[in-house]
Amino acid sequence: MKNTIVLFLLVCFFINRGQSQEIATLSKEQAAIGAIKTLFDGMRAGDSTVLRSVLHPDAHLQSSFTNKEGIPVLRGGSVDRWVASVGTPHEEIYDEKIWSYKVRIDDNLASVWTEYTFYLGEKLSHCGVNAFHLANTADGWKVSHITDTRRKENCITEMPDLQGDLNDFMNSWHKAAATADEDIFFGSMAKGGIYIGTDATERWERDEMKEWSKKYFDQDSAWDFATIDRTFYLSDDEETAWFEESLDTWMGVCRGSGVLELTADGWKIRHYHLAVAVPNDNVDEYLKIATPSSKIKKQ
């Protein structure tokens, strides 16, 4: 009985130790984000003490914007004045909505990029991006520097539906082929983006494919693929997406897969691979008629 209890305690110890290590791995990033959330919770509540609690004693503020004359400006701000303004009674709530967190951490330094929209009460004031630097101290993560951008146009007003946006992007790309819209189809691909077709010879970079497919896009429809289903996967920073999809085509059901990257011009297709889906029961028949159209040389 005693041995059983000892074994049970050892198992619990190693399970808890493993969970603690996992939490410790996750908590560094989450703790840095938590400090930023506390910062804006304090500002929203008008509580300067909460705000000050996550600011490093040597914290600095800067804002980057374009003035009325069209000149880029980088202006420094006063942390003390900011904290004082938050703590001074005011009618409107200072509500800074954060839409995303992109975190990079090395040792005791964290860099966090956040998209935001700032409201005075219910009124939209401005929007932009915050670039945070945080230092890990004996008292936890502290914000040491904030540089923000400020604009009044193209502000986010609700949480983005990234999965929906990516689906719309891919649907638009397939529709562009169905309607022979060359500008949208090839404009959706990155420069140097790769398209691999169903034939062994069909491997093009974007501009090569544009030249090859000109005869198809000169018609009313290049090709018409209807989406059956699609699944996206995202990198942690949400700047790279990869996917798999099933398509209803003139060749029957095909599989597509690819990689998308977020660029300064929006999402672009970096890689796309189209394959005919051959049922296992038909593979023997397929092999009888399948002959390689070219030989692949060994590198």
Query: What's the whole-number average pLDDT of the chain?
Result: 89
pLDDT tens digits for range 29-43:
999 999 999 999 999
Last residue of a domain, one of 104, 123, 149: 149
- Statement to judge: residues 34 and 142 lie in one domain: yes
Helix (H, G, I), strand (E, B) or coil at 255: strand
What secondary structure does DSSP assign to 78-133, as a single string? -HHHHHHHHHS--SS-EEEEEEEEEEEEETTEEEEEEEEEEEETTEEEEEEEEEEE
pLDDT tens digits for range 77-106:
999 999 999 999 999 999 999 999 999 999
The whole domain housing 244 covers: 162-289
> Distance between CA atoms of 260 and 206, rounded to whole angstroms?
14
Look at the chain and report how many structural domains it folds into. 2
- Statement to judge: residues 199 and 260 lie in one domain: yes
pLDDT tens digits for range 207-258:
999 999 999 999 999 999 999 999 999 998 889 999 999 999 999 999 999 9
- Statement to judge: residues 63 and 138 lie in one domain: yes
| 38-55 mean pLDDT | 97
Which helix (H) or strand (E) segment holds residue 178: the answer is: helix 162-178
pLDDT tens digits for range 99-148:
999 999 999 999 999 999 999 999 999 999 999 999 999 999 999 999 99
> Distance between CA atoms of 254 and 251, rounded to whole angstroms?
7
Taking a C-beta distance cutoff of 8 angstroms, is the pair 56, 40 a contact? no
For 128-143, letters b (16+ CB in 10 Å) and e give bbbbbbbbbeeeebbb
In a domain, 190, yes or no: yes
> Distance between CA atoms of 268 and 239, rounded to whole angstroms?
11
